[in-house]
């Protein structure tokens, strides 16, 4: 039988409400702890209350032979893509007692963590915030808006044969299929070769890779793969630990939210994440149900918005994961 654990002064009621600007701090901690956002791998657009329009301009044949007159040359076309964050929520009920022991153990001081939550509220909110961050990272890259609890991800939109505006389909790398340490160099080279000339060499171009590709690449650099840099390791020397994380001079951005074998090469400025963040949609409520129904249940309620969008599909290369 489990022994009841109590605070020194008894189990205090921890009912509290965080709303408005302060709520935004909790939501920001949860959302921006997602690896893709935390490292600013893509462009973050905060304070999008409803929709944000991403304008695209295209000009062609604007240079002509000189003359004394003003003669209109070329064409200018404006198109747009809409970033519409989806409203999401967390309605979670936990048994307070299941977490009190862990929090009290941290307070003893023999912890590997540098920052221990000062009170039980912060401890439980940070725990749930970590789960929100994990779900956010996954939705950024592979979320399906029609699925409950997810918002539309970048890879499903990019892997469509034709984009929503009919002219934004990305370039597809020549290879496809599963990635292993034996073929990862060839796969990355296929993506590298598919990067459009219009963006090749731009400073913010990255190759976004999932965990299995990141692991396979590190293995290949260590010389443990049958292909790539050979059995002698990186630079023909046996090496251990972290290897240079780029491919032919282009940064490899590890994004655990990407599904296995899904790779995207794009500019950070061409991929967008939008959220209300500090808008009125955000609220975090922490409710101790003891005073309401006598239970040890503890409810956390969060509301926030999130969504993704890409700008110009022709400037993006993807690797099909099937």
User: What is the span of the domain harbouring residue 224?
Assistant: 16-57+76-109+117-319
pLDDT at 125: 77
User: Does an H or E element contain 5, and which?
Assistant: none
At 52, phi and psi to the nearest 5?
A: -130, 135
Is 65 within the bounds of a domain? Answer: no
pLDDT of residue 58: 61
- Given a cut of 50, whether residue 3 has pLDDT beyond it is no
Encode pLDDT of 82-119 as tens digits: 888 999 999 988 787 776 666 666 555 554 444 445 56
Residue 271's closest CA among 316, 301, 303, 230?
316
C-alpha to C-alpha distance for 213 and 183, rounded to whole angstroms: 10
Average pLDDT over residues 185-206: 93
Task: Single out the residue of 272, 266, 299, 293 nearest to residue 37, CA to CA.
Answer: 272
User: What would the pLDDT profile of 4-27 be if each residue is shown by its tens digit?
Assistant: 444 444 444 555 665 666 677 777
pLDDT digits (tens, 9 = 90+) for 308-319: 999 888 899 999
* 174 assigned to some structural domain: yes
pLDDT in tens, 225-254: 444 444 444 443 334 445 568 899 999 999
Neighbour-count burial of 188, counting CB atoms closer than 10 A to its CB (0-12 exposed, 13-18 middle, 19+ buried): buried
CA-to-CA distance for 28 and 278, rounded, in angstroms? 8
β 43-45/86-95 pair status: unpaired
pLDDT in tens, 125-173: 777 888 888 999 999 999 999 999 999 999 999 987 554 444 467 889 8
Count of the separate structural domains present in the chain: 1
- CATH code for the domain in which residue 153 is found: 3.90.1690
Pull the structure tokens for residue 200: 């090749």
Both structure tokens of 54: 């991403």
Q: What is the DSSP letter of 122?
A: H
To 5 degrees, how large is the angle CA 247–CA 248–CA 250? 60
64 domain residue, yes or no: no
Report whether 287 contacts 295 (CB < 8 A).
no
Domain assignment present for residue 34? The answer is: yes
In a domain, 88, yes or no: yes
- The residue behind tokens 């915030």 is 129
Phi, psi of 60 (to 5 degrees): -140, 145
Q: Cβ of 276: how many Cβ atoms within 10 Å?
A: 22
> Which one is predicted more confidently, 78 or 259?
259
- The better pLDDT of the pair 33, 302 is held by 302
Q: Is residue 284 part of a domain?
A: yes
pTM to 2 decimal places: 0.77
Residue 1 falls within a domain, yes or no?
Answer: no
Percent of the chain with pLDDT over 70: 69
Cβ(96)–Cβ(67) under 8 Å? no
Residue 66 is assigned to a structural domain of this protein: no
């Amino acid at each position: 039988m489990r022994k009841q654990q109590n605070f020194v002064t008894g189990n205090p009621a921890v009912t509290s409400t965080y709303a408005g600007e302060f709520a935004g701090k909790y939501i920001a901690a949860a959302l921006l702890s997602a690896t893709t956002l935390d490292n600013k791998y893509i462009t973050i657009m905060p304070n999008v209350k409803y929709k944000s329009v991403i304008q695209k301009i295209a000009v062609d044949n604007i240079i002509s032979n000189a003359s004394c007159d003003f003669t209109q040359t070329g064409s200018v076309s404006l198109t747009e893509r809409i970033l519409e964050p989806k409203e999401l929520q967390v309605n979670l009920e936990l048994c307070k007692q299941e977490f009190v022991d862990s929090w009290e153990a941290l307070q003893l001081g023999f912890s590997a963590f540098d920052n221990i939550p000062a009170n039980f509220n912060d401890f439980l909110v940070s725990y749930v915030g970590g789960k929100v961050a994990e779900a956010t990272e996954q939705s950024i890259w592979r979320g399906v808006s029609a699925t409950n609890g997810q918002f539309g991800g970048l890879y499903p939109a990019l892997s469509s044969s034709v984009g929503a505006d009919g002219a934004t389909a990305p370039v597809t790398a020549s290879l496809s299929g599963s990635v292993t340490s034996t073929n990862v160099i060839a796969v990355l080279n296929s993506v590298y070769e598919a990067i459009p000339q219009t963006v090749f060499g731009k400073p913010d171009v990255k190759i976004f890779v999932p965990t299995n590709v990141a692991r396979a690449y590190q293995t290949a650099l260590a010389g443990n793969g049958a292909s790539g840099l050979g059995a002698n390791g990186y630079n023909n020397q046996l090496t251990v630990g972290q290897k240079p994380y780029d491919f032919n001079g282009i940064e490899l951005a590890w994004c655990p939210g990407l599904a296995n074998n899904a790779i995207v090469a794009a500019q950070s400025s061409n991929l967008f994440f939008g959220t209300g963040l500090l808008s009125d949609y955000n609220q975090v409520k922490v409710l101790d149900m003891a005073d309401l129904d006598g239970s040890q249940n503890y409810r956390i309620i969060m509301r926030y918005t999130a969504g993704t969008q890409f700008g110009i599909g022709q400037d993006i290369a993807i690797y099909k994961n099937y």
